[in-house]
Structure 1
Amino acid sequence: MILETYVRVFVDPGVLDRTIDFYRSLLSGVVSLRFAYPQQELELAAVSSEKLSVLIIAGTAEKRVPFEATRLTIKVDNLETMIAALLNGSADQLEPIQTTPVGRKTRFRHADGTVVEYVDHVDPRSTVPQSS
């Protein structure tokens, strides 16, 4: 089951906090996720609201390049169940399931060509927003 869908916004590290504040105000949202991804030299934050959720990915332009082709991030309750549904729907899995600082992820190319990341957060304690 899909739990939340995020549009992705890419920023330089120095404007992450300002970008979070902007989307919190614009969406009347809350910071629902914030974590460092040291293996990729990125920091991620999510601002969630009833109408829209935004995943903000901060890092240098060079470090963001591998992530920019992915248009959406969709949080699901179970990756294996979603993978089965996607494969039945003619989507192509682009990578095996990988571990992240807050759970697991994989990417698919949908029939229309859109690249989407699917995630499940297996450790709820990891999704508690950090103080800035």
Structure 2
Amino acid sequence: MHVLKSWVRVFCDTKAAEDVIDFYRGLTGGELTLSYGYKERRVRMAGISSPNLSVMVVAGDAAARKPFESVRLTLEVDDLAAVEKAFTYIGGEVLERAEGALFVRHPDGTLAEYVRHGGSAKAAVPAAAADQDGGGAS
């Protein structure tokens, strides 16, 4: 398994999204490499990528962002099955499998999303977190 790209997640109100995106573009010298609305969850996701730091901005009101905030890191990998096998071996915990994604707890307690490019781009919040928050927007 190889990590191809990683994003640290940051969270902001919808009204601040453009300013936050511009801030991280300026800070990192990065480019906006992904941007989409996640309408059923009432959030916008934006990825700013640079060689040294990539940031995933999750913008929405506080209630909409809440289920996303438990996951602090998104990693794109070349092989999800290898991630699952590695976590079984090293002591991490696979919490949930979703189409194109695994949600895991690292041994230090960090919750992370591992994705395989070409998988579901909207597997950004584990179902358990969504269930705790009433399932998000309709």
Question: TM-score w.r.t. structure 2 length?
Answer: 0.79
In structure 1, the partner of 2:88 is 87
User: In the TM superposition, what whole-angstrom CA distance separates every residue of 1:5-61 from its partner, at most 9, and x where no partner exists?
Assistant: 111100111111111111111111111111111222211001111110000001110
Structure 2 CA distance for aligned equivalents of residues 35 and 84 of structure 1: 31
In structure 2, the partner of 1:116 is 112
| Partner SS state of residue 41, structure 2 | coil
Aligned length: 119
In structure 1, the partner of 2:36 is 35
In structure 1, the partner of 2:11 is 10
Could you list the structure 1 runs, at least 4 aligned residues long, displaced by more than 2 angstroms after superposition: none
Displacement of 1:108 after TM fit? Answer: 0.5
Displacement of 1:106 after TM fit? Answer: 2.1
| Partner SS state of residue 96, structure 2 | coil
- Superposition pairs of residues 64-103 of structure 1, within 5 angstroms: 64-98=65-99
% identical equivalent positions? 39
| Partner SS state of residue 101, structure 2 | strand
Aligned Cα root-mean-square deviation (Å): 1.5
Question: TM-score w.r.t. structure 1 length?
Answer: 0.82
Structure 2 CA distance for aligned equivalents of residues 49 and 7 of structure 1: 12
Structure 2 residues not aligned, in runs of 5+: 122-138
Structure 1 CA distance for aligned equivalents of residues 34 and 96 of structure 2: 24
